[in-house]
A and B are shown apart, each in its own frame.
Chain A
Amino acid sequence: MDALIENFFNLRTMLDMLPGLIREGIRNTIFLTVAGFSLGLVLGLVFALLRLSTARPLRWLAGTYIELFRGLPLLLTIVFIGTALPIALRFRWPNFFLPGVLALGIVAGAYIAETIRAGIQAVPRGQMEAARSLGMPHRLAMRTIVLPQAFRIIVPPLTNELVLLIKDTSLLAILGTSIGQREILKYSRDVLGRTLDPSALVAAGLAYLALTVPMTRLVAVLERRNRRSR
């Protein structure tokens, strides 16, 4: 028992790495998550609307994007954008954040597009019809009447996407990050390599949980509230 605690919960190691973990690891994880999610939201909204468009080519385009990036392993997309693309097109990413956020955002966008589409379709048709019958053009009705209601419906699933994204940032390490750019897992693995103390990974796990558990709790609360208001 003591050996177990000694091996996995070495307070000394954990406290030593804590400042760096917060300043670099957690900070970068949050940055990558927020940036990737923002991009995902924009792409998700655009492709959800295209998916519901009356123009067949646009629907098809959106469908392809969604199926493609939901069907591929995230890791493949990351390596493709971060490594394969620069080789093919002969350029260099100026830093690792750019391809990282791009890959996360593009993939998150595919999932979010489906979530938003479902949200829009969950708003009763009569809402759009009532708005149109007042003389509102389709776009205006979508923006002021349908989307606000759709977003209220999809806050819980969107928060779930956010949780997934927090965890997925750890995959970006494959692009090779330098000091200062490391997110939680990479930072902790480097500590593990240096100290050979497994507690480093436990610290990483705790850091992720500190971010994700409040979010999943929040989802639970929101879902309960949504159910009640129906």
Chain B
Amino acid sequence: MATPVIEVRDLHKYFGELEVLKGIDLRVDEQEVICVVGPSGSGKSTLLRCVNRLEEPTSGQIFIEGDDITAKGCNIDRVRQRVGMVFQQFNLFPHMSVLDNITIALRKVKRLKGKAATEIARERLDKVGLADKADAYPIQLSGGQQQRVAIARALAMDPDVMLFDEPTSALDPELVGDVLAVMQRLAEEGMTMMVVTHEMGFAREVGTRMMFMDFGVVQEEGPPAQLLDHPASERAKEFFSRVL
């Protein structure tokens, strides 16, 4: 069997006394699009943030393409170059132009020359449909455009997997579609993705697998259509009846 892109083994995470993740096991293979759903506070974001160690796991192991990122000598900055992340709040750098937002890590982390970095940035901007916004500042863009820039910024590093934490939850409803379309195209091109989302339509259409989380454990997982149409657990039934 090929090495999974992400593998999580018995992950526990405490915030003080509060146990937020209670033993998560997870495997994401190449080109999978795994959608993580569940009620607020169930630990979806925490799980995602553990995968690139924005949160420190309390115990358990996490492997990215076979590398144990919870091991002592692990250079997490190197691993993160292979793991793109997109946030609910976009988190573009407001003091930089769109182009600089995308090139800064290419220049300072990958040490590319300005010209090479700019070329990559323009190519990624084109991919998210914002080639004409290179010189704009984030504040001049709509939420949907900002999120697409954020996706382009993450893609510029040529990651092997992309993490999305509710990428459309902060958007006005009419702007959601553009962002989902970009994500769908990305999935079709074979990007491995882990997506926390409330967009059940997207999960059904694009997701290869769905994970229902509640109370810090994975309650149920399987093909999205199966979970959505025939949830097994009471909790999932109740959750889907509320969000659908």
Give the B-binding residues of A (Cβ under 8 A). 124, 126-127, 129-137, 140, 144-145, 148-149, 152
Contacts and interface: CB of A to CB of B under 8 A. Distances in A.
A132 B49 CA distance: 12
- The 9 A-B pairs with the shortest beta carbon distances in the complex, nearest first, are A130-B91, A135-B81, A134-B105, A126-B91, A133-B85, A135-B80, A135-B109, A135-B77, A137-B77
Nearest to B139: A229
B87 A130 contact: yes
Nearest to A135: B81
A193 to B, nearest CB: 52
Contact of A132 (B54, B95, B150, B157): B54
Nearest to B100: A144
Contacts of B78: 135
B33 to A, nearest CB: 19
Contacts of A129: 54, 87, 91
B80 A133 contact: yes
Given A126-B87, A149-B94, A133 B109 contact: no
A133 B104 CA distance: 13
Contacts of B89: 124, 126
Nearest to A229: B139
Interface residues of B, number: 24
Given A132-B80, A137-B77, 15 more contacts: A126-B91, A127-B91, A132-B54, A132-B77, A133-B83, A134-B80, A134-B104, A134-B105, A134-B153, A134-B154, A134-B157, A140-B109, A144-B108, A145-B93, A149-B95
A140 B109 CA distance: 9
Nearest to A129: B54
Given A130-B91, A135-B157, A144 B80 contact: no
A129 B87 CA distance: 9
Contacts of A130: 85, 87, 91-93, 150
10 contacts: A124-B89, A130-B92, A130-B93, A132-B80, A133-B154, A134-B104, A134-B109, A134-B154, A136-B105, A140-B109
Interface in B140-184: 150, 153-154, 157
Interface in B77-131: 77-78, 80-81, 83-85, 87, 89, 91-95, 104-105, 108-109
Contacts of B109: 134-136, 140
B95 A135 contact: no
Nearest to A151: B95
Nearest to A149: B95
A148 B95 contact: yes
Contacts of B94: 149
A85 B89 CA distance: 53
B52 interface: yes
